[in-house]
């Protein structure tokens, strides 16, 4: 059995363990949160290195990218230094592939089930600088996109309409942001469990499709999400119930739901690495894509309120 463990600096209330068979290989997949304790996460990586086939890095990322340019987080680099034996993935290796496949699957669903298309549909992405791959997938899907980076990352009431502005913002801010504590820009630990505090209502209401990290979407979401579609990553069964009560139409997660929980892309990347019979240093983008299609690793599309 392959053992995959995601160690997250997020809330332990989102912990989950599931067993699933991929290509005849049984996998035990676990997510363990440290409630915002970065030092505890580092120690856990060090203690369990070599005792699991692959680690997922949850709640953090090794780097952010704009196009092909990467900026690495100074804090998160410490994790790479303590993991010497097990394979390790933060999601960046597969995120773009899975996000693109999610929007393609959503387009097919809307075409076949509702006689609709994503083309021209108003959409909001919380932070394109953080999830540039998703922004690319949303633009390729033909969505009329608003970028919420100033609002969701900096708390400023400024909506961005041009991807050129996002690129400029990324090149200006990412060299600075990635040298600062990760917790300054992202809710960690118990902060993730707080009830939503509705904000930026105008932009939520304007958008039919909401894309981005679920913690960010949930943080400011309104009480009524009727007719809306959320495309995101990790959600628990409790999150699904919450969204259903708020009248959300469709929930799409870029990863499949395993025993009621959609694990993050870091978990899926770690699982794929564990299934590959080659050193991580030799793994290519094509290896990820081939294995994703071979399984196949499909997004989860759930109609919560018809």
pLDDT at 109: 98
Retrieve residue 300's tokens: 């989860």
Whether 175 and 271 share a structural domain: no
**Cβ of 304: how many Cβ atoms within 10 Å?**
17
In a domain, 305, yes or no: no
Find the domain containing 271 and state its range.
2-94+263-298
Whether 57 and 194 share a structural domain: no
In a domain, 304, yes or no: no
pLDDT tens per residue across span 197-244: 999 999 999 999 999 999 999 999 999 999 999 999 889 889 999 999
Whether 25 and 155 share a structural domain: no
Task: Kindly calculate the radius of gyration of the chain based on its CA atoms and give it in whole angstroms.
Answer: 18
Average pLDDT over residues 133-151: 96
CATH code: domain of residue 182: 3.40.50
Q: 């139409």: which residue's tokens?
A: 249
The overall average pLDDT reported for the chain is: 93
Q: 3-state class of 302 per DSSP?
A: strand
Whether 268 and 234 share a structural domain: no
31 with 4: CB under 8 angstroms?
no
Count structural domains, the chain: 2
pLDDT at 130: 87
Whether 74 and 131 share a structural domain: no
In a domain, 303, yes or no: no
Q: Say whether pLDDT at 97 is over 70.
A: yes
Separation between Cα atoms, residue 136 and residue 197, nearest integer Å = 28
Whether 122 and 15 share a structural domain: no
Whether 202 and 172 share a structural domain: yes
233 with 214: CB under 8 angstroms?
yes
pLDDT at 184: 67
In a domain, 244, yes or no: yes
pTM: 0.91
In a domain, 39, yes or no: yes
In a domain, 306, yes or no: no
In a domain, 289, yes or no: yes
Whether 237 and 108 share a structural domain: yes
Whether 37 and 134 share a structural domain: no
Q: Say whether pLDDT at 133 is over 70.
A: yes
Helices (H) and strands (E) counted in the chain, each on its own, are 11, 15
Whether 146 and 242 share a structural domain: yes
Whether 183 and 273 share a structural domain: no
pLDDT tens per residue across span 17-56: 999 999 999 999 999 999 989 999 999 999 999 999 999 9
Retrieve residue 105's tokens: 């699957």
In a domain, 214, yes or no: yes
Whether 48 and 147 share a structural domain: no
């Amino acid at each position: 059995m392959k053992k995959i463990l995601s160690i997250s600096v997020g809330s332990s209330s989102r912990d989950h363990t599931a067993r699933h068979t991929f290509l005849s290989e049984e996998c035990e997949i676990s997510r363990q949160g440290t409630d915002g304790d970065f030092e505890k996460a580092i120690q856990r990586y060090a203690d369990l290195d070599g005792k699991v086939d692959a680690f997922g890095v949850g709640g953090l990322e090794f780097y952010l990218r704009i196009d092909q340019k990467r900026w690495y987080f100074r804090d998160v680099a410490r994790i790479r230094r303590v993991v010497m034996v097990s394979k390790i993935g933060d999601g960046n290796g597969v995120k773009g592939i899975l996000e693109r496949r999610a929007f393609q699957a959503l387009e097919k669903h809307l075409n076949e089930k509702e006689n609709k298309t994503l083309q021209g549909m108003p959409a909001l992405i919380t932070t394109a600088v953080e999830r540039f791959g998703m922004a690319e997938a949303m633009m390729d899907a033909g969505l009329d996109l608003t970028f919420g980076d100033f609002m969701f990352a900096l708390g400023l009431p400024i909506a961005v309409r041009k991807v050129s502005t996002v690129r400029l913002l990324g090149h200006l801010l990412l060299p600075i942001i990635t040298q600062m504590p990760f917790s300054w820009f992202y809710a960690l630990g118990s902060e993730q469990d707080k009830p939503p505090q509705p904000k930026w209502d105008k932009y939520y209401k304007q958008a039919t499709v909401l894309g981005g990290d679920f913690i960010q979407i949930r943080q400011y979401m309104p009480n009524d999400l009727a007719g809306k579609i959320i495309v995101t990553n990790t959600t628990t069964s409790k999150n699904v119930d919450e969204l259903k009560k708020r009248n959300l139409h469709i929930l799409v997660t870029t990863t499949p739901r395993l025993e009621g929980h959609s694990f993050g892309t870091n978990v899926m990347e770690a699982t794929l690495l564990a299934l590959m019979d080659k050193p991580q240093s030799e793994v290519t983008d094509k290896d990820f894509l081939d294995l994703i299609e071979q399984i196949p690793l499909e997004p989860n599309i759930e109609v919560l309120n018809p």
